[in-house]
Structure 1
């Protein structure tokens, strides 16, 4: 199970956000890859994440599982992802990497995901930009607007790469004030229309309840992980 943390892709949020979930899943017998990636800085510092580094990191991090699967006795054909918020965006984007054109960041994957559980994911990327969520987080990640770099936004937007052909479970609370519930609704509607086995699972609680083991929202996510992998 690949865990991809959120934090609106910003440098202040790290893989530490994924530790409680990773530990809970490990205790239940799952092999967990708590994936870090370069995040987008606010000062354009050399070596910071953003487009395309953040996407390249997620792609190479998932592909690295092929190299270590044999070492740890893992089934390289049974890899799923759990992503929260910005991590949900990256996880669902990664599920669609096989649809990306040659030369695009993340194209030609070595490892394929068999499904994704998105927890309040930013799955309608352009809508998230239009809504100016988290004070321009999408534009901070991309370093441009959709009008300035339309091709980059097309590659980065999960909703632009349907169908992906694997189950996408969008778990989201209608009470979430950080990522609107409608973002997941829009993605699932588009995915189902494209023929994908996508499902929307409405939960309760705030934006962080869903990554807190023991809450009802997290339990919904955990049961869906078991559905994918067991």
Structure 2
């Protein structure tokens, strides 16, 4: 869905959400400080939404400029679609989403894979459990090495610990979010 009435240019729903949230919760949401955040496939979407300015020309969702965001918080994200596809993560979800493997539909991977697209605008923090058996932490390491994202690898934590407020991972998650909101470039403690 796009709306061309806002600025005369096409924008996506992701661009509209901060303003809509501010309207829905007056005084509680700062539309000038949005953070893209998500877990697992939602972590992929948060990274992708922040990278739309790097999509190939003509790709759906492409924007001319980086997203106006404070940063991106990706929790155990599918940050490398090619690797996730090779590993069969999500029982073949990547190939199902993109209509084939990287060799079959390389243009789709080029337009959807954060590992290919690079680093989003603003601070990017990835929080990933070392014991994640759904999406291996090697994927987060590879993405962080390629993109320059800050990686917080949490020993003893699995895939769902990063979204559980009662887990040992939660202080790292809230610390990462606070650092992004504060504009802090320093490492976030565990």
Q: TM-score, normalised by structure 2?
A: 0.79
1:173 aligned residue (102, 105, 129) = 129
Within a 5 Å distance, the mapping from 1:126-205 to structure 2 comes to 126-192=82-148, 198-203=149-154, 204-205=156-157
Please report how far the alpha carbon of residue 75 of structure 1 lies from its aligned counterpart in structure 2 after TM superposition. 3.0
Q: Tell me, what secondary structure is at the counterpart of 2:36?
A: strand
Please report how far the alpha carbon of residue 144 of structure 1 lies from its aligned counterpart in structure 2 after TM superposition. 1.9
Gaps of 5+ in 2: 1-10, 183-190
| Kept after mapping to 2: 8 A contact 1:62/1:111 | no
Equivalent residue pairs, number: 167
Please report how far the alpha carbon of residue 183 of structure 1 lies from its aligned counterpart in structure 2 after TM superposition. 0.3
Q: Tell me, what secondary structure is at the counterpart of 1:135?
A: helix
Give CA deviations for 1:59-102 in whole Å, capped at 9, x if unaligned. Answer: 83322225426633443321102211111111111111122234
Please report how far the alpha carbon of residue 110 of structure 1 lies from its aligned counterpart in structure 2 after TM superposition. 8.9
- Tell whether 2:67 aligns with 1:115: no
Distance in 2 of aligned mates of 1:125 and 1:144: 11
Give CA deviations for 1:43-63 in whole Å, capped at 9, x if unaligned. Answer: xxxxxxxxxxxxxxxx83322
| Kept after mapping to 2: 8 A contact 1:170/1:200 | yes
Q: Tell me, what secondary structure is at the counterpart of 2:74?
A: strand
